[in-house]
């Protein structure tokens, strides 16, 4: 069911500092910051030949990643995003398998304008997973 690794997301306390690291030190191609208030994050993407790195900074009150940054003050790997062909079919398969879907179980529009779902890390080897319809 899962296809390409769409991105690896890293939550950071300071997006500007993270952009400097990825653009100036690692020499990556980094997009302009984009606020996503409905997800409580500001995001940039680092384009790599085979995938992307998503750098996430908390945005606004009660950001979904605020607690993560509290536990990981220097930042850390937050989630992996796998592409799927059909997000509803993927959601239904996860429910049949007994996996927990975060939120109300309905896909939301993610950072790429495509529907996404998040799966509970305790059901997936301790890693938060995002599924994105490719």
Residues that bind Co ion in the complex, under the rule CB under 5 A: 9, 54, 81, 130
Selected catalytic residue, list 54, 57, 83, 130: 130
Residue 130 falls in the annotated catalytic set = yes
Which residue number, 4 or 24, has a Cβ lying nearer to Co ion?
Answer: 4
Containing 8, the helix (H) or strand (E) segment is: strand 5-11
Q: Which residues contact 94 (CB under 8 A, 6 or more apart)?
A: 101, 117, 119
Which residue number, 80 or 106, has a Cβ lying nearer to Co ion?
Answer: 80
Cβ atoms < 10 Å from Cβ of 21 = 17
Beta bridge pairs of residue 119: 101, 129
**Shortest spacing between CB 81 and Co ion, in angstroms:** 5
Which residue number, 27 or 130, has a Cβ lying nearer to Co ion?
Answer: 130
Active site residues: 130
């Amino acid at each position: 069911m899962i296809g390409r690794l769409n991105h690896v997301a890293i939550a950071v306390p300071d997006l500007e500092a993270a952009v400097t690291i990825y653009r100036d030190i690692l020499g990556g191609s980094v997009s302009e910051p984009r606020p996503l208030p409905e997800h409580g994050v500001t995001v940039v993407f680092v384009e790599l030949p085979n995938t992307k790195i998503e750098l996430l900074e908390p945005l606004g009150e009660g950001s979904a990643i605020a607690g993560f940054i509290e536990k990981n003050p220097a930042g850390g790997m937050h989630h992996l995003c796998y592409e799927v062909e059909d997000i509803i079919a993927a959601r239904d398969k996860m429910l049949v398998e007994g996996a927990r879907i975060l939120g109300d179980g309905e896909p939301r529009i993610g950072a790429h304008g495509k529907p996404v779902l998040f799966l509970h890390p305790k059901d997936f080897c301790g890693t938060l997973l995002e599924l994105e319809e490719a």
